[in-house]
């Protein structure tokens, strides 16, 4: 779990939703909070988009990340305020890149989902979320996060 401690703290994460079959491109103003309240077995990440003129119905989500010793993989489960949920797995950091891949379910449909996190420094990371609707990966959301405060345990 020490590998995931990088995400502890409060982060400012502006970015964008890309144009997809689900909606147009729009900016995101988001706060991410990573806490060790479930330590030592799990890390909880909460994301909260801020309401703006371009995003009047902001999304909130809760992520729970842990490690499955039986499969020797990191696991991620998340749930959002639009009724979406996902289950993903990761082999861990490869250099400065961490990839969680799995399946997202929303409105009764499931699609492959991939979240890629790239460390840009000790207090900054880039995230891109992608789905595959059957013709390859397409970007859904993308943010660059900067840590505002240390661990929120």
pLDDT of amino acid 52: 87
* Among 12, 37, 20, residue whose Cα is nearest residue 111: 20
pLDDT of residue 153 exceeding 80 = no
List pLDDT tens digits, range 108-134: 899 999 999 999 999 999 999 999 999
List pLDDT tens digits, range 50-106: 998 888 888 899 999 999 999 999 999 999 999 999 999 999 999 999 999 999 998
pLDDT of amino acid 23: 84
Burial class (CB in 10 A: 0-12, 13-18, 19+), 150: exposed
Strand 97-106 versus strand 109-121 pairing type: antiparallel
Average pLDDT, integer, range 31-38: 93
* H or E element, residue 142: strand 137-149
Per-residue burial over 7-34, b = 16 or more CB atoms within 10 Å of its CB, e = otherwise: bbbbbebebebbeeeeeeeeebbbebbb
List pLDDT tens digits, range 135-145: 999 999 999 99
CB distance 45 to 13 below 8 Å: no
Per-residue burial over 121-141, b = 16 or more CB atoms within 10 Å of its CB, e = otherwise: eeeebbbbbbbeeeeeeebbb
pLDDT of residue 151 exceeding 70 = no
pLDDT of amino acid 54: 81
List the domains of the chain with CATH numbers: 2-147 (2.40.128.20)
């Amino acid at each position: 779990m020490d590998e995931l401690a990088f995400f502890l703290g409060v982060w400012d994460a502006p970015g964008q939703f890309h144009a997809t079959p689900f909606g147009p491109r729009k900016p995101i103003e988001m706060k991410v909070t990573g806490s060790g309240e479930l330590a030592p077995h799990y890390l909880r990440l909460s994301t909260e988009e801020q309401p703006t003129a371009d995003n009047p119905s902001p999304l909130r989500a809760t992520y729970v990340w842990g490690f499955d010793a039986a499969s020797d993989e990191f696991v991620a489960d998340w749930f959002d305020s639009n009724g979406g949920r996902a289950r993903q797995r990761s082999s861990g950091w490869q250099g400065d890149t961490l990839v969680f891949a799995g399946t997202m379910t929303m409105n009764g449909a499931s699609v492959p989902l991939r979240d890629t996190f790239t460390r840009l420094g000790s207090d900054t990371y880039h995230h891109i979320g992608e789905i595959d609707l059957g013709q390859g990966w397409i970007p859904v959301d993308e943010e660059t996060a900067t840590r505002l405060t240390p661990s929120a345990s």
